[in-house]
Amino acid sequence: MSAEAKTEAPVRAAIKPKFISHGTLASRDLEKTRKFYEEFLNLEVVRTSPMSLMVRLNGQHVYAVVQSKEEFEMPRIYHNGLDVDSDNDVNEAHRSVIAAQDSWGLTRVTRPVAQHGTYSFMFWDFDGNCWEILSNPRGGYNWIFEKGDLEGRGHLDRSFRNERPND
């Protein structure tokens, strides 16, 4: 049997999780951060301790927000995505972020562009966390799993676009 004809044995995972439940964000001032998350980003927030919050939006995945005295800026590659319904909603959100830069301490606002199959822009909040506002169908990036493994530049190709209409 040739090497090309061999099939690989299925991967047996050492850990068998059921769900990605949470991630972690930093905060320099929990009260200011809570106000920003509730009033600007429209996130649901609960106080979980004197030094932490939990936030979520329309789902079961949550972020723990932990107070930190450390100054840091999240690298762009580690951003957090907030999905909106359409490209027009991305443009509207971009206008809102630009208008609120001074009042909320938002920085490094990028312009909206088509990238990795969506239309989006990024900005950094006053805690140094990076946010991406993007148009995606209901379910976020789950549509990309339907495509399976991608060849070549994959979703980095500038012409790559989600062909599914927003649900």
| Residue 43 and residue 118 share a domain | no
* CATH, residue 106: 3.30.720.110
- Residue, of 19 and 154, whose pLDDT is higher: 19
The number of folded domains in the chain is 2
| Residue 105 and residue 83 share a domain | yes
Helix, strand, or coil (residue 89): helix
Dist CA 11 CA 68 (whole Å): 39
pTM value is 0.82
The domain of 166 spans: 73-167
Q: Which amino acid does the sequence have at 104?
A: W
| Residue 93 and residue 59 share a domain | no
Tell whether 65 is covered by a domain. Answer: yes
Average confidence (pLDDT) over 54-64: 95
Q: Which of 1-15, 68-82, 95-109, 133-147 has the lowest mean pLDDT?
A: 1-15
Tell whether 8 is covered by a domain. Answer: no
- Answer for the pair 140, 83: CB distance below 8 angstroms, yes or no: yes
Q: Which of 102, 98, 100, 122 is nearest to 110 (CA)?
A: 122
Tell whether 118 is covered by a domain. Answer: yes
